[in-house]
Amino acid sequence: MRNFTINKVEEADKLKQLLKVVALATNIEEVEEKIRELV
């Protein structure tokens, strides 16, 4: 049962990392759009 909770915590950490990556990717897209608007 204890291993189960540890695994859940690790999964949550992986999800957080994924969300950070997705957030970075979306920010990059927004930046690219702004650059296009300026150019």
CA 2 to CA 23: how far, in whole Å?
Answer: 32
* pLDDT single digits (tens) 3-20: 888 788 899 899 899 888
Query: pTM for the full model?
Result: 0.56
Looking only at Cα atoms, what is the longest distance across the chain? 57
C-alpha dist (Å) from residue 14 to 17, 18, 20, 23:
5, 6, 10, 14
Output the CA torsion 18→23→27→33 (10° steps). Answer: 80
Mean pLDDT of 13-35: 88
- State the pLDDT at residue 29: 87
Cα three-residue angle 37-18-32, rounded to 5 degrees: 10
Q: In percent, how much of the chain has pLDDT > 90? A: 21
Domain segments of the chain: what residues? 1-39
